[in-house]
Copies of this chain bind each other. A is one copy, B any other.
Amino acid sequence: MADALKIGVAGLGTVGASLVRILQERHEMLATTCGRPIELIAVAARDRTKDRGVDLSKAVWFEDAVALASEAEIDVFVELMGGAGDPAYSSVKAALERGIHVVTANKALLAKHGIELAGIAEEQGALLNYEAAVAGGIPVIKALRESLTGNTVSRVYGIMNGTCNYILTKMEKEGLTFKACLEEAQRLGYAEADPTFDIEGNDTAHKLSILTSLAFGTAIAADDIYLEGITNISIEDIQAAADLGYRIKLLGVAQRTDSGIEQRVHPTMVPHDSVIAQVDGVTNAVAVESDILGELLMVGPGAGGNATASAVLGDIADIAKSRPGAQHVPAFGRPTTALMPYKRARMQSHEGGYFIRLKVVDRTGVFANIAGHMAENDISLESIMQHSKHYADPAEPKTIILVTHATHEASVRKAIVSIKSEGYLVGEPQVIRIERPKDW
């Protein structure tokens, strides 16, 4: 059996503690599978006195992750601290500069510094593995980086934030408001005390930016993503979607178009009988459409200490199974020098179907006027209907729901501006894009 693989772990939160426990409990099984033992020889965390339920007596303790990465006699540096800044950034960089392999679950770090770090890894012949950074336990990085080699990807999309999917699922199944479902998610630990980063779509955007680079061979452009969160989604939207045969999901979508790459995160209506529509609760799902393989969909746990630790462990095992300096696996699928610049497709030129919900005062001719504005903008309608209650008070505003055939974002925005100028609208119009998964 080959020499032990010596690892150092920085960050002993939920994921770090899970990982350490698994490495200890399954020491022998891992040695058999990997052909060599995996030894935890160093850890870094702030509070040395905290009981993490794992035995750390054999590991050298560093208060400073950068010191661990710079000094410890390790083969792999495992970064589980999180955050785009320090100590995550400096410690990962320090490890790679020494030619030490890095495994990280840190999406924010990669979204911001991924290409720079990948470049250092290549120069030093080190691996930079980050399966856990996107969609937790779902092996989507491996699929894009390894399985799909040779394919040209046309679209990658998915449900990548468990908090949002939990809230949307609960709103639909129990008819509760966004606020009530968010509070329940917070109670269950599925949402942070400050949930902004999740519910506004930033977390999904970070993950999407990494997938985009892998899928299209471009530099990461995490700040160049069209972003809409789910705070604006009402029960009325969810019910109207259901009536029309759709469900609402927060999707991250990256798509190759004639004018560049579209990266967008927004609430999306997907057909009710599509596979991805059935993905409920905190579960994640990622789909990749490519020209040789066709469409691949992967569904699994997107977060949680164990699922994330499992992905980290898979990355460590890949290194254990390879031999030092033995592999050519560029972090983003191709050498950083061969990555193409990211060219953003403007959101205005996005093509797709739209769901539009309008509240209007009950006045003769409104229906025809709305239809007219759509026609003026060359928007072809799949349906237009008035949602009426059993007893309709003429003084109450009426709800009109439109579903368009594929059209341009610019046309929809123009039509909405025209409709707004007519003066019969009550409140803001709701616009939700429709995404059609490939037919299975």
Contact = CB atoms under 8 A, between A and B. Distances in A.
A333 interface: yes
A150 interface: yes
B30 A311 contact: no
Contacts of A335: 32, 35
Interface in A293-351: 293-301, 304, 306-307, 309-311, 313-314, 317-318, 320-323, 326-330, 333-335, 338
Contact of A146 (B35, B36, B281, B318): B318
For the complex of A and B, 8 pairs with smallest distance between CB atoms = A326-B326, A35-B328, A149-B317, A293-B310, A139-B147, A296-B300, A292-B310, A297-B299
B329 A321 contact: yes
Contact of A313 (B149, B295, B309, B314): B149
Q: How many copies does the complex hold?
A: 2
B275 A310 contact: no
A417 interface: no
Interface of A: 2, 18, 22, 26, 29-30, 32-36, 131, 137-139, 142-143, 146-151, 273-275, 277-281, 283, 290, 292-301, 304, 306-307, 309-311, 313-314, 317-318, 320-323, 326-330, 333-335, 338, 440
23 contacts: A22-B150, A22-B292, A26-B150, A32-B335, A33-B149, A35-B328, A142-B142, A142-B143, A146-B314, A147-B310, A148-B314, A149-B317, A274-B278, A277-B278, A293-B306, A294-B304, A294-B306, A296-B299, A297-B298, A321-B328, A322-B327, A323-B327, A327-B327
Contacts of A142: 139, 142-143, 146-147
Contacts of A318: 146
Given A299-B440, A322-B327, A310 B278 contact: no
A143 B310 CA distance: 12
A54 to B, nearest CB: 15
Contacts of A298: 296-299
Contacts of A2: 328
A311 B320 CA distance: 24
Given A139-B142, A147-B131, A149-B33, A300 B294 contact: yes
A151 B310 contact: yes
Given A131-B147, A150-B26, A283-B440, A301 B295 contact: yes
A138 B148 CA distance: 10
Contacts of A300: 293-297
A153 B330 CA distance: 30
Contacts of A279: 275, 440
Nearest to A2: B328
Nearest to A29: B150
A260 to B, nearest CB: 20
B295 A334 contact: no
A292 B22 CA distance: 9
Contacts of A277: 278
A233 to B, nearest CB: 21
A34 B149 CA distance: 8
Given A35-B328, A35-B335, A139-B143, 18 more contacts: A30-B150, A32-B335, A33-B334, A35-B330, A131-B147, A137-B296, A146-B314, A148-B314, A150-B313, A278-B278, A280-B440, A292-B307, A294-B307, A295-B301, A298-B299, A299-B299, A322-B327, A323-B327
A335 to B, nearest CB: 7
Contacts of A322: 322, 326-328
A389 B35 CA distance: 64
A100 B244 CA distance: 57
Contacts of A307: 292-294
B310 A150 contact: yes
A193 to B, nearest CB: 25
A6 to B, nearest CB: 17
A137 B26 contact: no
Contact of A311 (B147, B290, B326): B147
